[in-house]
Structure formats: C-alpha cells, structure tokens
C-alpha cells in the first residue's frame, strides 16, 4: 500500500502547476522567465498579451504565464487567473513614482475570487541599480504585512545576473510541499461500489474527491484504481 501511495504522489508531482507572473511594464518579467529557462539574459521587447513557458524546479513543473504590464493590458490579467496556484509580482525597485500603481494593482488582483487560494511571491527586481529600494522598503510601501489570506514572500533579485531568482523559486517549492502535507487519504474500507481510474491529467480533481471518500487503492497492469464505498 505504501508503495502505491508513493506512486500516486509521484504522478501528482509531475503535474503542471499554474503560475502567473505580473507587474508593470519594464519591471523585468520576461527577462526573469527566460533566466529560469536558459539561465542567461535574453534581450526582450515589451510583452503584448502573454508568454507561456514550462519551468521545472526540483521536479515540480510550473506552467508560467508572463502577462504584459502596460496599462492597456492590465485589465486582461484576470482572464488568466483560473486555476492559478502562485502569483509572481515583479517590481522595478528603481521605479519609485509608480509604486503606488503597483500597490493598487496588487490588491485589486488579490481580491479576485479565482486567486483566493493562490500564494504570492514578490520579486524586488533591479537591485543592482543605484537608487533601488530595498526589499524591506518595498514591503513597507506595499503594506505586505496586511496580507492575511494569502501566503506571501518578498525576494530581492537581479534578473540580469539571476541573483535572488532561485531563492524565490525555492520558496515556491517549499510552499508547495507544505500544501501537499495535508492528508488526502481519509480511510480504507473493504467494501466498495465504484471503481475509478485516475489519469494523470485529472489527478488534482480526483485527490479532492478522495478527501471525502473511503476507498481501497488497487494496482493492475501499471494502472491505479480506486474503489469507493
């Protein structure tokens, strides 16, 4: 039984977890995305609409949506929120004049019902530039400590060198692992009336079902079956 449960978690670990990356224009979002992918600087143009790439960190697959930050595009951010588990907000730490705009966009975003369970990572980017605000100062001006309904973390970084970026991913990884520790196997019963095969793409929904059912886990020909009573 323990071996089969381990296999189930292995399948779950290979699932893609949705992450949206937002921020004002010229904050460095796309540069960060391609640092994740290639570990090098890629010269980019302002994002019109969105970019999407798969980023793998410590065997967790993230589908990262990089959303354009121009004022005319921000209203469309909410169309990407469904099923989002993590939000990355990238901030240009030298852009003092628009920090109030960033704060307004942040709290508008956190009020959206589709993000009610999402965790927040703030990247205080461009720390290599003279006059940049520290992560602590940005946290104070954004009043991050007032956020109670979402797990959050702020990370100083430099997209051009990669400094601080992977510390942010590590926070996401640890946060994801903590969420996994919630028990999803409530019990085992010898009687059953339903046989259910969990396919890889449906496993997240099926795990939600398992939280309210008693079941027997059964393996045959490398397939996992659940018998619910």
Q: What does the alpha-carbon distance between residue 229 and residue 215 come to, in Å, rounded to a whole number?
A: 6
Q: Is 30 among the annotated ligand-binding positions? A: yes
- Helix crossing, 165-180 with 29-38: angle to 10°? 80
Q: Is 161 marked as binding a ligand? A: no
Spell out where the chain has E strands. 16-22, 50-57, 60-67, 84-92, 119-125, 152-156, 194-197, 215-220, 223-228
CA dihedral 19→23→29→30, nearest 10 degrees, is 90
Residue 24, marked binder: yes
**CA angle 188–191–197, rounded 5-degree value:** 70
Cβ–Cβ < 8 Å for 189, 214? yes
- 125 belongs to an annotated ligand binding site: yes
212 is in an annotated binding site: no
Is 221 part of any known ligand binding site? no
Map tokens 């990089």 to a residue.
66
Q: Is 23 annotated as a binding residue?
A: yes
131 annotated as ligand-binding: no
Q: Which of 70, 111, 167, 211 is catalytic?
A: 70
Task: Check whether 66 is labelled as a binding-site residue.
Answer: no
Q: How many helices (H) and strands (E) does the chain have?
A: 7, 9
Annotation says 70 is catalytic: yes
Detail the residues annotated as belonging to a binding site for Mg(2+): 30, 47
Detail the residues annotated as belonging to a binding site for GTP: 23-30, 69, 125-128
Detail the residues annotated as belonging to a binding site: 23-30, 47, 69, 125-128
Residues annotated as catalytic (active site), given as ranges? 70
């Amino acid at each position: 039984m323990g071996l089969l449960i381990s296999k189930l978690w292995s399948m779950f670990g290979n699932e893609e977890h949705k992450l949206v990356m937002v921020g004002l224009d010229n904050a460095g979002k796309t540069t960060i995305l391609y640092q994740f992918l290639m570990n090098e600087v890629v010269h980019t143009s302002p994002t019109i609409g969105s970019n999407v790439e798969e980023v793998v960190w410590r065997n967790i697959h993230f589908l990262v949506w990089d959303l354009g930050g121009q004022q005319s595009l921000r209203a469309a951010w909410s169309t990407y929120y469904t099923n989002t588990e993590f939000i990355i907000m990238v901030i240009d730490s030298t852009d003092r004049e628009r920090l109030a705009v960033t704060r307004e966009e942040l709290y508008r975003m956190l009020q959206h019902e589709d993000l009610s369970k999402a965790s927040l990572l703030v990247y205080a980017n461009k720390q290599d530039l003279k006059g940049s605000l520290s992560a602590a100062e940005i946290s104070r001006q954004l009043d991050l400590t007032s956020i109670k309904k979402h797990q959050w973390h702020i990370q100083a970084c430099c997209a051009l060198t990669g400094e601080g970026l992977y510390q942010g991913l590590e926070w996401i990884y640890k946060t994801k692992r903590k969420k996994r520790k919630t028990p999803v196997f409530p019990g085992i019963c010898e009687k059953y009336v339903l046989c259910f095969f969990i396919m890889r793409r449906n496993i997240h929904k099926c795990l939600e079902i398992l939280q309210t059912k008693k079941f027997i886990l059964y393996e045959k020909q490398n397939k996992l079956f659940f018998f619910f009573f």
